[in-house]
Amino acid sequence: MIETDVIGHIADELYNAETNAYEVDKFVDQFPELDVELAYHIQDRLIEMKCNKENAKISGRKLGLTSKSKQEMMGVHEPSYGVLLDNMQLFEGDPISTKPFIHAKVEPEIAFVFDKEVSGDHITVADILDATAYITPAMEIIDSRYRNFDFTLPDVVADNSSSSRYLISERFYQVNDVDLRLMGMVFKKNGEIVATSAGAAVMGHPARAIAWMANKLKERNQRIQPGEVVLSGALAKAFAIEPGDHFSVSFDGIGALEAAFIE
Ligand code: OOG
Ligand code: MG
């Protein structure tokens, strides 16, 4: 197949898999030309389709595979990024139906909300912190379209880095009030502690992950925009969700966020 057909074909398959909640096999075996660069073109196409068909708008970005726990869990040892759309946002206190999902998992995350455009030649941690309006606890629901979450880096990039839904707390904190590297995190499932971590689990500093993405975006003429939310990537591994489950994430200094799942 010629390249433009591969882009359209894989984007269609992923869109249909998500919309009708079924799994597909990873594409690298079938399309040896699928590399990371081509995968980001597929991701762009998928986002364009979602924006058009669902009348959705870009609300932010996410990083994936930025912590050792996540990299080891998925067997992919480099980070990826993806796009968040306004129709992926859920709100704390609203029970979350598991019906639309294929095999969703939930992850503890930190959200950065920006009030400046992030630009410049070489974007640093300081640039990211300077452009951040506030930070707040977050959870991401990932729902890879691939069978058993089995993918390579190009596959997961094409699949918008497994994005499905996200929720952020509505209590906002200044980056200067905490040490993001040392900020402790406790993640609970049904009242039991299932993971503990600290900000430094994400590439040494969560804002370093975001700086990495901002530099990559620049190469593709894209930028983090004012008002956007960015999830810096899970601080611990992801946990499968069953109806009836309740998860909470608490951070030192920036509070907690809860999510309850129903049928
Ligand atoms: C890829 C997405 C990972 C994170 O926070 O590490 C991710 C996956 O594990 O399916 O969102
Ligand atoms: Mg994530």
Q: Is the CB of 233 under 6 A from ligand 1?
A: yes
Query: Across the strands, what pairs with 139?
Result: 108, 167
- Our answer on whether the CB atom of 164 is closer than 6 Å to any ligand 1 atom is no
How many whole angstroms from 19 Cα to the centroid of ligand 1? Answer: 19
Which residues have CB less than 5 Å away from ligand 2 (the ion)?
107, 140, 234
> Span 50-56, mean pLDDT?
98
Split at pLDDT 50, 70, 90, the class of 2 is confident
Ligand nearest to the CA of 138: 2
Q: Which residue has the tokens 């095999």?
A: 103
| Predicted TM-score (pTM) above 0.95 | yes
Query: Mean pLDDT score of the chain, rounded to an integer?
Result: 97
Ligand 1 center to 130 CA (angstroms): 26
d(CA 90, CA 99): 14
pLDDT confidence tier of residue 4, bands split at 50, 70 and 90:
confident
Q: Which ligand is nearest to the CA of 140?
A: 2
* Pocket flag, ligand 1, residue 70 (CB < 6 Å): yes
Ligand 1 contact, 224 CB (< 6 A): no
- Looking at ligand 1, which atom is closest to the CA of residue 65? 6
**Span 71-129, pLDDT tens digits:** 999 999 999 999 999 999 999 999 999 999 999 999 999 999 999 999 989 999 999 99
Q: What is the pLDDT of residues 241-250, one digit of tens each?
A: 999 999 999 9
pLDDT at 258: 98
Q: Which domains does the chain have, with CATH numbers?
A: 3-262 (3.90.850.10)
Q: What percent of the chain has pLDDT over 70?
A: 100
Q: Is 158 in the pocket of ligand 1 (CB under 6 A)?
A: no
Cα 214 vs. chain centroid, distance in angstroms?
14
In order of 66, 142, 206, 244, 246, the CA distances from 153 in angstroms are 13, 15, 20, 32, 30
Q: Helix, strand, or coil here: 149?
A: helix
Over 90: is that where the pLDDT of 210 sits? yes
Question: Does the beta carbon of 209 lie inside 6 Å of ligand 1?
Answer: no
